[in-house]
Amino acid sequence: MKLSFSPEDEAFREEVANWLQDNLTGEFEKLKYRGGPGDEHMFPDERKVWEQKLAEGGWTCVGWPKEYGGRGCSIEQQVIFFEEYARAGAPGRVGHIGEGLAGPTIIAFGTDEQKKKYLPGIVAGTQLWCQGYSEPSAGSDLANVKTKARFDEEQAKWFINGQKVWTSLAHESDYCFAIARTDPDSVAHKGLGFFLIAMDQPGIEVRPIEQITGTSEFNEVFFDDASCGADDIVGAPGDGWKVAMGLLGFERGVSTLGQQMQFQNELDEVVRQARSNGAARDPAIRQRIARAHAELKIMRYNSMRMLSGQSASDGALQKEALIYKLFWATWHRSLGELAMDVLGPECEILEGAPYALSRLQSMYLFVRSDTIYGGTNQIQRNIIAERGLGMPREPKGTAK
Amino acid sequence: MEFAFTQEQEMIRETAAAFLAEVSDSAAVRRAMTSEQGYESTLWERICGEMYWQAIHVPEAHGGMGLGYVELVAMMEQMGRYLLCSPFFATVCLAGNALRIAGSEAQQAQWLGQLCEGSLTATLAFNGGSSRWDAQAITATWRREGEGYVLDGDYRYVVDGHSADLLIVAARAQGSTGESGISLFLLPANTAGVSRQWLPTMDQTRKQAAVQLTGVHLNADAVMGEPGQSWNDLAKVIDLATIALAAEQVGGCQQLLDSTVAYTSERVQFNRTIASYQAVKHKAADMMLRTEVARSAIYYAACVAQEALEDGPLAGELREAASVAKSYCSDAYFAIAGDALQLFGGVGFTWEYDVHLYFKRAKSSEHLLGNGAYHRERIACALLDLGEVD
């Protein structure tokens, strides 16, 4: 075990920090600390320009192999990049779904044609992606998707019909990757396909969902004979679940370090508030702030374990990776509650009508989604017990 | 950056686990814990003679193996897992670290040499009976007399204090307060004026003692470091020992998790193993989360401890790393022990099953060297910049 970085990596850190300092200025100044989770609706157009600025500097897709336009950074350098990015207060990435999810999936499972067609736009920061997984009847039970994909031999096209929900950034995106049923008589995770669908077409309607915050990052997406080409399916019809789940393996935790820097920014704000309003003298608040601080530190160490660990040969997540979502989501939710308790009765007062939330108020409300999306805390506990501890799987239900 | 065990470290851990599974089973633990000494001398001789654990992180110049704190922590984790009853923690993690941090060359040569030979057990006494484990806990006093020193005062919660051959004690200059005036002294336990009593404890797997010093006369060479200037050294020793103790707690967490999963997978009620109930699975999942998070905390703390011994770039993080690890591991171990007892049901409440040994150990380890609240307050002081709060 060794914690320090090599001199080459430290030089890389300086390069990243300098570039951000030189470029996150002028028209981009107002984007600092904006556009993260819970704030995705802010400055979408400016953040699209910022995405292209990053691409010019070679700072998109830093972990991708060079042959696909990436920077080919080592794990250590990716860690450094995400840390410096968050430290500089650089804005939430509008391209993160393409860079972190769509792209790696296409690299791993896609054809050469798909790679040529889709990867350059992601690297250039010009084409944005959204993820079409959840449906009204497929939440925790993701395999229960009802959206159907039908291949029309004459037109040599796939036609998609159905509805997706909780689709982040759908209204800003150029493409959607979605799972849909290629075999209409199939159930559960069999008979699915993984599709790459252009958003700008008459068969797609995006409707924003107004959230608990009064803002809308999430959307409903309706497919009414939306189409994509015969070549726009990743893997074979029926392989959709395998491709979708393979995607989880790409998230080895590098970006979690950037997420933690955002958490650190929020905790710093809570500490500032506590020190200025006197809450820092309250013994109960002191205990909670110290706990939040300690657990955020450990969250970082846990990510370092995830990154350093050898991948299990069967591709299964290691123990420290299995518990990670449950840990950070629960921590973040507690931070929201702590923030309000530090503010006291002042926590109620808005910045203005009709519903202008402060940064901490917005965080407090938005973190309630953390323990729900991407596998609820309850689903996470099932996964940990079944995959991590080998306890019996939940029985299949019979309700219609 | 490489935040995983090397192959060599894995081997040390596995060797320790295999050895302890054999020599520290339930019967062995129960034999040792019901004796006043608290450990079996024959086993300790095997550990020192065959395994050489007592010498693990002592520099080779003093007869040690010259390994690091990561290796020490890996072994402590296994000792906690198997509830090993031994004078290891007191001798190596308390007294051994004190000798390394505060001992003169001559003191190290003499005492670390004997420690590595396995012919000496030792401990550190500094707490006069406080729930705080900082300078304020030190109430015993020293004064000069001629070329030497005279010590008076009481200590409580001294790990293996009734059985150790060598005592390292902290005392303060008469009239001093806080972190000033603190000195460390080395004295054989049979020095005139030293009296010691075993304190029977709820957790029988680790022995505690009270020690009284009444007009104890020591020669000039008994003092460690500059008289009155030893608080920083002692603070470092306490932090290092705290990290080792947290590692031991993680081993206990893992054992409780494993045994609970095994038991609930066998126990059948309503024609199902109780492990198939979501209420049981979810509790087990929380136990695993706490165990893995605790493990991440101690691995980092172990790396920082190693840097502290080498004056590396992260040496300044020692205090925080110790508090982060001990606060989390203390609460995790006790929560897991409580959950394990609940999931074992009625048999978990019996003397026959081992759950109660861990449940009791969890509480005793929680309070030794500061519980979660104590360590969180240390973190809060640094973070909220309000200074120490009385």
pLDDT surpasses 60 at B234: yes
pLDDT at residue A250, rounded to an integer: 59
- DSSP percent split of chain A into helix, strand, coil, nearest 5: 50, 15, 35
Condensed to tens digits (0 to 9), the pLDDT of residues B139-176 reads: 999 999 999 999 999 999 999 999 999 999 999 999 99
* CB half-sphere exposure, A245, CA atoms < 13 A: 12
Distances (CA, A) of A248 to A173, A243, A251: 21, 9, 6
Q: What percent of chain B has pLDDT over 90?
A: 96
Condensed to tens digits (0 to 9), the pLDDT of residues B33-50 reads: 999 999 999 999 999 999
- In chain A, residues with a C-beta closer than 8 Å to the C-beta of B259 are none
Judge whether A56 counts as a catalytic residue. no
Report whether B121 contacts B38 (CB < 8 A): no
Cβ count near A114 (within 10 Å):
18
**Would you call A2 exposed, middle or buried from its count of C-beta atoms within 10 A (0-12, 13-18, 19+)?**
middle
pLDDT at residue A374, rounded to an integer: 86
pLDDT at residue A253, rounded to an integer: 61
CB A308 to CB B314 under 8 A?
Answer: no
Instruction: Among A77-81, A154-158, B360-364, B386-390, name the one with the lowest average pLDDT.
Output: B386-390
pLDDT surpasses 50 at B389: no
Q: Which of B243, B293, B323 to mutate to test the interface with A (most CBs of A within 10 A)?
A: B293
Handedness of CA A377, B332, B238, B23 (dihedral sign): negative
The strand pair at B182-188 and B194-199 is best described as unpaired
Q: Where are the domains of chain A?
A: 7-94, 129-238, 251-388
Cβ count near A46 (within 10 Å):
17
Comparing CA positions, the residue from B163, B165, B251 lying closest to residue B206 is: B163
DSSP B125: E
Nearest-angstrom CA–CA distance, B223 and B142: 10
User: Torsions phi, psi of A352, nearest 5?
Assistant: 175, 170
pLDDT at residue A37, rounded to an integer: 77
Query: What's the CATH class of domain A7-94?
Result: mainly alpha
CATH of domain A129-238: 2.40.110.10
pLDDT at residue A316, rounded to an integer: 55
Closest residue in chain B to residue A296, using alpha carbons only? B324
- DSSP percent split of chain B into helix, strand, coil, nearest 5: 55, 15, 25
pLDDT at residue A398, rounded to an integer: 83
Handedness of CA B353, B354, B360, B362 (dihedral sign): negative
Comparing CA positions, the residue from A148, A156, A210, A154 lying closest to residue A181 is: A148
Nearest-angstrom CA–CA distance, B70 and B89: 15
CB A327 to CB B302 under 8 A?
Answer: no
CB B303 to CB A290 under 8 A?
Answer: no
Comparing CA positions, the residue from B322, B243, B324, B291 lying closest to residue B76 is: B243
CB A5 to CB B284 under 8 A?
Answer: no
Closest residue in chain B to residue A5, using alpha carbons only? B1
Mean pLDDT of B127-146: 97
pLDDT confidence tier of residue B390, bands split at 50, 70 and 90:
very low
**Would you call A5 exposed, middle or buried from its count of C-beta atoms within 10 A (0-12, 13-18, 19+)?**
middle
- In chain B, residues with a C-beta closer than 8 Å to the C-beta of A283 are 377
Q: Which of A1, A4, A289 sits opposite B4 (nearest CB)?
A: A1
All domains of chain B in start order, with CATH: 7-121 (1.10.540.10), 124-224 (2.40.110.10), 231-384 (1.20.140.10)
Condensed to tens digits (0 to 9), the pLDDT of residues A68-107 reads: 999 999 888 988 898 899 889 999 999 999 998 999 999 9
- CA angle, A239 then A245 then A249, to 5°: 130
Report whether A357 contacts A213 (CB < 8 A): yes
pLDDT surpasses 50 at B388: no
Closest residue in chain B to residue A319, using alpha carbons only? B292
Question: Mean pLDDT in chain B?
Answer: 96
Comparing CA positions, the residue from A221, A199, A212 lying closest to residue A133 is: A221
Condensed to tens digits (0 to 9), the pLDDT of residues B62-115 reads: 999 999 999 999 999 999 999 999 999 999 999 999 999 999 999 999 999 999
Residues 60-119 of A with CB under 8 A from B: 76, 79
Supply B168's token pair: 């390292």
Q: Is A391 on the interface with B (CB under 8 A)?
A: yes
Condensed to tens digits (0 to 9), the pLDDT of residues B343-352 reads: 999 999 999 9
The answer for residues whose C-beta is within 8 angstroms of residue A362's C-beta and 6 or more apart is A38, A39, A213, A215
pLDDT at residue A312, rounded to an integer: 42
Q: Is A321 on the interface with B (CB under 8 A)?
A: no
Q: What is the mean pLDDT, run by run of 10 residues, along chain A of 400 residues?
A: 84 97 96 84 92 96 95 89 90 91 94 98 97 93 94 97 95 96 93 97 97 93 98 96 79 70 92 96 98 97 80 60 94 98 98 95 96 93 96 87
Q: Is A355 on the interface with B (CB under 8 A)?
A: no
CA distance B371 to chain A (A): 12
pLDDT surpasses 60 at B264: yes
Cβ count near B342 (within 10 Å):
14
Supply B103's token pair: 């001992």
Condensed to tens digits (0 to 9), the pLDDT of residues B189-230 reads: 999 999 999 999 999 999 999 999 999 999 999 999 999 999
Supply A164's token pair: 């997706």
The interface predicted TM-score of the complex, written ipTM, equals: 0.96
Nearest-angstrom CA–CA distance, B242 and B368: 9
The answer for residues whose C-beta is within 8 angstroms of residue B247's C-beta and 6 or more apart is B72, B73, B74, B76, B77, B80, B298, B302, B329
Nearest-angstrom CA–CA distance, B86 and B205: 9
pLDDT at residue A310, rounded to an integer: 54
DSSP B322: H
Rounded to two decimals, what is the model's pTM?
Answer: 0.94
Condensed to tens digits (0 to 9), the pLDDT of residues A140-158 reads: 898 899 999 999 999 999 9
Closest residue in chain B to residue A271, using alpha carbons only? B384
DSSP B243: H
User: Torsions phi, psi of A186, nearest 5?
Assistant: -80, 165
The separation between the first and the last C-alpha atoms of chain B, rounded to the nearest angstrom, is 40
- In chain B, residues with a C-beta closer than 8 Å to the C-beta of A269 are none
User: CATH fold of A251-388, please?
Assistant: Butyryl-CoA Dehydrogenase, subunit A; domain 3 (1.20.140)
What residue type is assigned to position A52 of the chain? Answer: Q
Handedness of CA B312, B318, B322, B323 (dihedral sign): negative
